[in-house]
Amino acid sequence: MDQRDRQILRILQGNAAISLNDLAEQCAMSKTAVWRRVRELEAQGIVRERVTLLDAEAMGFGLTIFAMVRTNQHSDGWFSTFQKAVRSIPEILEFHRTSGEIDYLLRVVAHDMRHYDEVYKRLIREVDFADVSSTFVMETFKSDTQLPI
Protein backbone atom coordinates (compact mmCIF):
# COMPACT_ATOMS: atom_id res chain seq x y z
CA MET A 1 0.00 0.00 0.00
CA ASP A 2 1.45 3.33 -1.02
CA GLN A 3 0.60 6.98 -0.35
CA ARG A 4 -2.01 7.06 -3.12
CA ASP A 5 -3.82 4.09 -1.61
CA ARG A 6 -3.75 5.79 1.78
CA GLN A 7 -5.15 8.98 0.24
CA ILE A 8 -7.97 7.01 -1.40
CA LEU A 9 -8.73 5.31 1.91
CA ARG A 10 -8.80 8.60 3.83
CA ILE A 11 -11.26 10.05 1.34
CA LEU A 12 -13.48 6.95 1.27
CA GLN A 13 -13.60 6.81 5.08
CA GLY A 14 -14.96 10.34 5.08
CA ASN A 15 -17.45 9.76 2.26
CA ALA A 16 -18.04 6.27 0.89
CA ALA A 17 -20.65 7.68 -1.50
CA ILE A 18 -18.15 9.89 -3.31
CA SER A 19 -18.36 9.51 -7.07
CA LEU A 20 -15.48 7.90 -8.93
CA ASN A 21 -15.01 11.18 -10.83
CA ASP A 22 -14.68 13.20 -7.62
CA LEU A 23 -12.41 10.63 -6.01
CA ALA A 24 -10.13 10.62 -9.04
CA GLU A 25 -10.08 14.42 -9.09
CA GLN A 26 -9.21 14.68 -5.39
CA CYS A 27 -6.41 12.13 -5.85
CA ALA A 28 -5.16 13.74 -9.09
CA MET A 29 -5.43 10.38 -10.83
CA SER A 30 -7.41 8.96 -13.73
CA LYS A 31 -10.77 7.31 -13.04
CA THR A 32 -9.42 3.99 -14.30
CA ALA A 33 -6.39 4.09 -12.01
CA VAL A 34 -8.51 4.99 -8.97
CA TRP A 35 -11.08 2.31 -9.82
CA ARG A 36 -8.34 -0.34 -10.08
CA ARG A 37 -6.82 0.70 -6.76
CA VAL A 38 -10.20 0.64 -4.99
CA ARG A 39 -10.98 -2.81 -6.42
CA GLU A 40 -7.56 -4.07 -5.27
CA LEU A 41 -8.12 -2.64 -1.76
CA GLU A 42 -11.47 -4.44 -1.69
CA ALA A 43 -9.90 -7.70 -2.93
CA GLN A 44 -7.26 -7.48 -0.18
CA GLY A 45 -9.99 -7.03 2.43
CA ILE A 46 -8.75 -3.58 3.41
CA VAL A 47 -12.03 -2.03 2.24
CA ARG A 48 -14.46 -4.37 3.92
CA GLU A 49 -17.71 -2.62 3.01
CA ARG A 50 -19.15 0.78 2.25
CA VAL A 51 -21.92 1.96 4.53
CA THR A 52 -24.05 4.94 5.43
CA LEU A 53 -23.77 5.98 9.07
CA LEU A 54 -27.03 6.99 10.72
CA ASP A 55 -27.47 9.18 13.77
CA ALA A 56 -28.76 6.79 16.44
CA GLU A 57 -30.52 9.49 18.43
CA ALA A 58 -32.21 10.95 15.36
CA MET A 59 -33.43 7.42 14.58
CA GLY A 60 -34.97 7.10 18.05
CA PHE A 61 -32.18 5.12 19.71
CA GLY A 62 -31.43 7.57 22.49
CA LEU A 63 -29.84 5.05 24.82
CA THR A 64 -26.42 3.41 24.34
CA ILE A 65 -25.44 0.63 26.67
CA PHE A 66 -22.25 -1.32 27.24
CA ALA A 67 -23.15 -4.76 28.56
CA MET A 68 -20.31 -6.62 30.25
CA VAL A 69 -20.75 -10.37 30.20
CA ARG A 70 -19.05 -12.94 32.38
CA THR A 71 -19.41 -16.66 31.91
CA ASN A 72 -18.21 -19.84 33.55
CA GLN A 73 -18.64 -21.71 30.29
CA HIS A 74 -16.10 -21.61 27.49
CA SER A 75 -17.14 -24.55 25.33
CA ASP A 76 -17.61 -24.26 21.59
CA GLY A 77 -21.28 -25.21 21.99
CA TRP A 78 -21.94 -22.46 24.53
CA PHE A 79 -20.15 -19.87 22.42
CA SER A 80 -22.07 -20.94 19.32
CA THR A 81 -25.35 -20.44 21.18
CA PHE A 82 -24.18 -17.05 22.45
CA GLN A 83 -23.01 -15.93 19.02
CA LYS A 84 -26.30 -17.03 17.44
CA ALA A 85 -28.29 -15.13 20.06
CA VAL A 86 -26.24 -11.96 19.60
CA ARG A 87 -26.60 -12.10 15.82
CA SER A 88 -30.37 -12.44 16.16
CA ILE A 89 -30.69 -9.23 18.20
CA PRO A 90 -30.29 -6.19 15.92
CA GLU A 91 -29.93 -3.78 18.84
CA ILE A 92 -26.55 -5.35 19.65
CA LEU A 93 -24.20 -3.42 17.38
CA GLU A 94 -20.85 -4.70 18.63
CA PHE A 95 -19.72 -7.97 20.18
CA HIS A 96 -16.17 -8.33 21.55
CA ARG A 97 -14.29 -11.02 23.47
CA THR A 98 -12.06 -9.28 26.00
CA SER A 99 -9.29 -10.04 28.44
CA GLY A 100 -9.47 -9.47 32.17
CA GLU A 101 -12.47 -9.93 34.43
CA ILE A 102 -15.04 -9.38 31.68
CA ASP A 103 -15.31 -12.12 29.06
CA TYR A 104 -17.40 -10.26 26.47
CA LEU A 105 -18.39 -6.66 25.84
CA LEU A 106 -21.53 -5.74 23.91
CA ARG A 107 -22.50 -2.31 22.61
CA VAL A 108 -26.27 -2.07 22.51
CA VAL A 109 -28.65 0.68 21.41
CA ALA A 110 -32.22 1.05 22.60
CA HIS A 111 -35.07 3.53 22.41
CA ASP A 112 -35.30 3.75 26.19
CA MET A 113 -34.79 1.75 29.39
CA ARG A 114 -37.87 -0.41 28.79
CA HIS A 115 -36.60 -1.33 25.32
CA TYR A 116 -33.18 -2.25 26.72
CA ASP A 117 -34.84 -4.39 29.38
CA GLU A 118 -36.60 -6.33 26.60
CA VAL A 119 -33.27 -6.84 24.80
CA TYR A 120 -31.60 -7.91 28.05
CA LYS A 121 -34.38 -10.38 28.90
CA ARG A 122 -34.23 -11.89 25.42
CA LEU A 123 -30.47 -12.37 25.70
CA ILE A 124 -30.52 -14.00 29.13
CA ARG A 125 -33.44 -16.22 28.09
CA GLU A 126 -31.37 -17.61 25.22
CA VAL A 127 -27.93 -17.88 26.88
CA ASP A 128 -26.74 -18.91 30.36
CA PHE A 129 -24.37 -16.32 31.88
CA ALA A 130 -22.55 -16.03 35.20
CA ASP A 131 -23.17 -12.27 35.19
CA VAL A 132 -24.30 -9.45 32.93
CA SER A 133 -23.78 -5.90 34.10
CA SER A 134 -24.71 -2.83 32.12
CA THR A 135 -23.32 0.66 31.92
CA PHE A 136 -25.44 3.37 30.35
CA VAL A 137 -23.82 6.11 28.30
CA MET A 138 -24.85 9.50 29.64
CA GLU A 139 -22.94 11.62 27.12
CA THR A 140 -20.69 10.81 24.16
CA PHE A 141 -17.74 13.09 23.50
CA LYS A 142 -16.13 11.18 20.65
CA SER A 143 -17.41 8.48 18.38
CA ASP A 144 -15.53 7.93 15.15
CA THR A 145 -15.40 5.30 12.46
CA GLN A 146 -12.28 6.51 10.65
CA LEU A 147 -8.96 4.77 11.21
CA PRO A 148 -5.90 7.05 11.44
CA ILE A 149 -4.20 6.46 8.10
2 pLDDT band, cuts 50/70/90, is: very high
pLDDT of residue 137: 98
- Stated pTM of the model: 0.90
pLDDT of residue 31: 97
Return all residues near 3 (Cβ < 8 A) that are at least 6 apart: none
Domains of the chain: 3-43 (1.10.10.10), 63-136 (3.30.70.920)
Q: Give kind and range of the element (H or E) at residue 41.
A: helix 31-43
Q: What is the pLDDT of residues 10-69, one digit of tens each?
A: 999 999 999 999 999 999 999 999 999 999 999 999 999 999 999 999 999 999 999 999
C-alpha to C-alpha distance for 89 and 97, rounded to whole angstroms: 17
Q: What is the pLDDT of residues 80-125, one digit of tens each?
A: 999 999 999 999 999 999 999 999 999 999 999 999 999 999 999 9
